[in-house]
Amino acid sequence: MTAATHSTLFPQVPDSADAVLEGLDPEQREVATALHGPVCVLAGAGTGKTRAITHRIAYGVRAGILQPSSVLAVTFTNRAAGEMRGRLRQLGAAGVQARTFHSAALRQLQYFWPKAVGGGLPRIIDRKIQTIADAAAACRIRLDRNELRDVTAEIEWSKVTRTVPADYAAAAARAGREAPRDAAEIAQLYATYEDLKRDRAVIDFEDVLLLTVGILQDRHDIAEEVRAQYQHFVVDEYQDVSPLQQRLLELWLGDRDSLCVVGDASQTIYSFTGATPDHLLDFRTRHPGATVVKLVRDYRSSPQVVRLANGLLSQARGRAAEHRLELISQRAPGPEPVFAEYTDEPAEAEGAARRIRDLIATGVPAAEIAILFRTNSQSEIYEQALADVGVPYQLRGAERFFDRPEVRKAGIALRGAARFGANDSLLDDAVDLPSQVRAVLSGEGWTPTPPAGSGAVRERWESLAALVNLAQDFAATKPGATLADLVAELDERANAQHAPTVQGVTLASLHSAKGLEWDVVFLVGVAEGMMPIAYAKTDEQIEEERRLLYVGITRAREHLHVSWALSRSPGGRPGRRPSRFLDGLRPGSTAATGRTAAPGAGGVVRGFSTAAPAVLSRRTSRTPARCRVCGRTLSDPGEMKLMRCDDCPSDMDEGLYERLREWRAVQANRSGQPAFCVFTDRTLIAIAEAVPGDAGELARISGVGVRKLNRYGTDVLAICAGRDGAGEDEDG
């Protein structure tokens, strides 16, 4: 058989229940065949838990033990639910409900609200922050933007932990939460927020669960109707359930025990939202007769990556650590993880971007590379660094694939061609399905060669290219398939949100990377103060940060790069040190004090020691940057660009700034990149304040590197001199 017949996109549907079990390892098979009574699956990272539970459901359906419509599989993200529906369809178990807690609850709430309450369900507000701001105004409490966000998080935590306003102060103290304001003030804001929602006849995201729980508790007839519909439950990522979600699950179950839960206490990373692994760890206590299966065969990561992950958890403390799973890699050996130290954060970003560019040049697909960071605020510097070296990227959490305008238009075009293709001259020379798709999508902007640069034009091309690749895989596994067949497949995938792969390096926070994997992972900013984050103070908070790093490490299949910077900004004091979590794990360090990794051993890379000595020399020779207005030492990257404090007065030439913005817009449009990839707003402000007269003065402005100086310098200097910057945009 050819490789195409084994495509993971379009596998052949198993022809029997027993065929569903083929290819499962002994532990996965135990999960798949344990169809009666409570089942608890303790599944380590990369051990095939989704495979095990989807095959379990499919085996039960195909064997006639489970009715598809009676199964409710609960996940924590729409993406995971869509993936599960797609897998079940491929296994011949279409019709099983796979939803998030909120999606399942909302469906029930909309159906039963007229019967339980009367009238239509109140409108759900998309963002509660404005209503909370209104509550603060009503209470005459002033909140800045950060406090408003933190108070919102406290109210959300209160609701998912089933804490009412009057009990907030005591509950927060018991949980060890550091309230952003006085606890009495937060309780007052919480109560006023609830009053405002009631007055405005609206509900929020958490109310969907609370109201569903309330109806099922109060109306036994409705609860029995739900239980008659759903006989069997599967809950993925069970370590992340909140008390409110657990209560809803109990109401769905009633006095039955047909429940399978799957989780890993070592991947509990959402406790700040109310999630707790206690429900997973106490499962045997609540269900003494439960079947417990441990999955420890890691099919995702190389032995080298697994060794690092196991080593990290071996130093963990606390209840979750007592139940950690020792992973055993099932893959061939790979390279040792690389540890890299840089002088500052821009150097770290540039180093990662260059390594990624080189990996892509050797044939590694951009879609198989990810940069993972602790906070979303770290993203921008990596976006800029990747744009500077011409590497396309995509932000995790961006618009869903099938919701993109170009994908919707392409779907319309393909549907039209499927119906009326016989009269379309575009298809005259198309001899098979892939060539037909290429012909149709060429009218939507697809070309055999990708456009230069990154940005919107490249992103649109990548979307269309993903559809072209999908058509090739579909035709390879289903010979004789027509355009109409492909359109039907796309419709099913859209309904399941089962998107094809889009080419581009993924930028994501560690939290949003949960459940994903790549061939190559760059873990960046792994320094004290960022990992663990500075505000993690208690032992429990520190251990959750360790688990977050564990999640990051276990996203990598083969190549893992771990890096940190000694200072935040160029010229800053090099006072940072690598994360304590790396002590005893990076070569040359010890668990007790390990300050510096020894060079040479275990794939250690010492910053720019071999990659770019000239850049290192230029960076380390700088003196500390000081505000040119007040003389204060600068450390913020934005202030470093301007060479002044944000609060100090600006002497910017407003007219020059506007001319630079107009010129930038032309350049961005010409190259198909976002405007910030030419120059950020901060850099334009810095140029308009400095008004450089020659290349040397322009080069001294932060954000104007050698590449951009060569590419845009002539234009920028001409604009600064009062002339038109009309030079052609050429790659340099």
Asked if residue 584 belongs to a known ligand binding site, the reply is: no
Asked if residue 620 belongs to a known ligand binding site, the reply is: no
The phi, psi pair for 295, rounded to 5°, reads: -105, 115
**Dist CA 250 CA 256 (whole Å):** 9
Task: Compute CA distances 303 → 308, 328, 603, whole Å.
Answer: 9, 8, 15
| Torsional class of 336: left (φ above 0), alpha (ψ -120 to 50), beta (otherwise) | beta
**Dist CA 548 CA 698 (whole Å):** 41
**Dist CA 541 CA 234 (whole Å):** 29
**Dist CA 393 CA 504 (whole Å):** 4
The secondary structure of 9-44 as a DSSP string is: SSPPPPSSHHHHTTT--HHHHHHHH--SS-EEEEE-
The secondary structure of 114-130 as a DSSP string is: HHHT-SPPPEEPS--HH
- End-to-end Cα spacing for the chain: 46
Asked if residue 318 belongs to a known ligand binding site, the reply is: no
Kindly give the residue spans of alpha helices, DSSP state H, lying in 219-273.
Answer: 220-229, 243-253
Q: CA 305 from chain center: how many Å?
A: 20
Asked if residue 64 belongs to a known ligand binding site, the reply is: no
**Dist CA 2 CA 708 (whole Å):** 47
Q: CA 401 from chain center: how many Å?
A: 14
Provide Rg for the chain, Cα atoms.
Answer: 28
Asked if residue 316 belongs to a known ligand binding site, the reply is: no
Asked if residue 641 belongs to a known ligand binding site, the reply is: no
Tokens representing residue 270 in the block? 């959402």
Residue at 710: amino acid letter: N
Sign, Cα dihedral of 358, 362, 367, 369? negative
**Dist CA 184 CA 162 (whole Å):** 18
The secondary structure of 92-151 as a DSSP string is: T-TT-EEEEHHHHHHHHHHHHHHHHT-SPPPEEPS--HHHHHHHHHHHT----HHHHHHH
Closest by CA to 455, choosing from 393, 408, 368, is 393
Asked if residue 45 belongs to a known ligand binding site, the reply is: yes
Asked if residue 48 belongs to a known ligand binding site, the reply is: yes
- Per DSSP, 63 falls in state T
- What crossing angle do the helices spanning 183-200 and 168-175 adopt, rounded to 10°? 130
Binding site members for ATP: 43-50
**From the annotation, which residues make up the binding site?**
43-50
